[in-house]
Amino acid sequence: MDSVAAPPPVVRPKGPAASPWKQALREAIRDPAELCRLLGLPPDLGDRAAAAGFGLLVPRGYAARMRHGDPADPLLRQVLPVGEETLEAPGFGVDPVGDLASQGAPGLLHKYRGRALLVTTGACAVHCRYCFRRHFPYEESPKGLADWAPAVDYLAADDSIHEVILSGGDPLSLVDETLARLADQLAAIPHLRRLRIHTRWPIVLPERVTDALVGWLTGTRLAPVVVVHANHAQELDATVAAALGRLARAGVPLLNQAVLLRGVNDSVVAQAELSERLIEVGVTPYYLHQLDRVAGAAHFAVPIEQGRAMVEELRARLPGYLVPRYVEERPGNRSKTPLDSLP
Ligand SMILES: *Cc1c(COP(=O)(O)O)cnc(C)c1O
Ligand code: SF4
């Protein structure tokens, strides 16, 4: 991010200065033993075989929000590779939500009427162990503006589509210049009305919310919507609140989607605290997702009956706008499937 230089002049190293968020990503923790040592935990708590399949990636600022000496910390549990990931679980596969069947063009998923989802990149600021796209063949997806041409053509050819969702991976892993150019191309399609960003960056590495980002996001005729992904109130510290505040002050509606995760947020208290903390930082709870049945994540599963009972209790304790919609993604359905209203 550009800043106005103030006297006295400081001596900078030669060469282009990396933006703070890229630098922070470069310095992120990639070694499970290092993360454990930082937290005062036994260095062998992480599992090598699990980490070999899908590496550990944790920004230092996110690790700083974990409780020292607590192996059951809800943030640590989301990111630490563990042996349970390598166990086979019946019903848990590599394409749990039918993504591969709904590609309208390379990298474009068109499952629901009126909106389509663009897989912009496989890169993320963090590796979440429960991620439903951990086996997605990102190397076959477009990586740059030229590669998105077929997807943009597809969007232009279907005037029933009013909203484009930038997803991934995490779209904010791309640099702002690329995203700004993509936003311009989308804004040139007359029937598009909204640009939605699905991202975990503001939660795990809030330095990513730069002036440049706010600039392109609010700089086209498309109405912006940002859906962040926080699972626990402890993730929402002052640095995150500041980043979200910047987006909110720019007029960007902010929603949250969480995943219901055993040992992370599978209690009424944890869910209520998450909702209350979210609205304090300007974010409205949107979805609480039932875990997608992805191989390696079975140990995070919470039975639907338990989730339903939790949401019912939340409804009794919180105002309606703080109760997320409890949903599951089922291949072939016309929308996410509501779980709280099914018999
Ligand atoms: C989840 C999802 C959406 C968004 O669904 P909403 O209910 O609008 O939030 C859109 N497209 C795809 C392919 C999805 O998986
Ligand atoms: S940030 Fe999102 S896409 Fe990336 S690993 Fe986490 S859940 Fe998956």
Among candidate residues 338, 340, 333, 277, the one with its CA nearest the CA of residue 309: 340
- Judged by its nearest atom, the ligand closest to the C-alpha of residue 121 is 2
Residues 285 and 308 in one domain: yes
For residue 95, is pLDDT > 50?
yes
CA 174 / ligand 2 centre spacing (Å): 14
Same domain, 163 and 78: no
Q: What is the CATH number of the domain that holds 260?
A: 3.20.20.70
3-state percent helix, strand, coil for the chain, nearest multiple of 5 = 40, 15, 45
Q: Is the peptide bond before 169 cis (omega within 30 degrees of 0)?
A: yes
Starting from the CA of residue 287, give the closest ligand: 1
26 falls within a domain: yes
Decide if 267 is inside a domain. Answer: yes
Same domain, 140 and 259: yes
Instruction: Quote the ligand 1 centre to 127 CA distance (angstroms).
Output: 21
- Both 105 and 72 in one domain: the answer is no
CA 309 to chain centroid: 26
Summarize pLDDT for 212-268 with one digit per residue, the tens.
999 999 999 999 999 999 999 999 999 999 999 999 999 999 999 999 999 999 999
Q: Show the domain range for 56.
A: 20-86
Tell me: do 213 and 281 sit in the same domain.
Answer: yes
Q: Which residues contact 117 (CB under 8 A, 6 or more apart)?
A: 108, 109, 110, 111, 164, 165, 167, 198
For residue range 180-191, what is the model confidence (pLDDT) as tens digits? 999 999 999 999
Separation CA 111–CA 333 (nearest Å): 8
Same domain, 178 and 312: yes
> Same domain, yes or no, for 104 and 188?
yes
- The pLDDT of residue 179 is above 90: yes
Q: Is 333 in the pocket of ligand 1 (CB under 6 A)?
A: no
In a domain, 108, yes or no: yes
Cα 338 to averaged position of ligand 1 atoms, centre (Å): 13
- Nearest Cα residue to atom 6 of ligand 2: 128
Share of the chain above pLDDT 90, in %: 80
Q: Does a structural domain hold residue 15?
A: no
Same domain, 70 and 113: no
pLDDT of residue 9: 46
Q: How many domains does the chain have?
A: 2
Are both 137 and 207 inside the same structural domain? yes
Task: Answer yes or no: is 1 within a domain.
Answer: no
Site of tokens 């470069």 = 26
Whether 180 and 104 share a structural domain: yes
Is 272 in the same domain as 140? yes
Domain membership flag for residue 174: yes
Q: pLDDT at position 149, please?
A: 94
Tell me whether residue 255 is in a domain: yes
pLDDT tens sequence across 102-133: 788 999 999 999 999 999 999 999 999 999 66
Statement: residue 3 has pLDDT above 50:
no
Helical residues (DSSP H) of 188-267, grouped into ranges: 201-204, 211-217, 238-249
Region of poorest pLDDT, from 192-196, 273-277, 291-295: 291-295
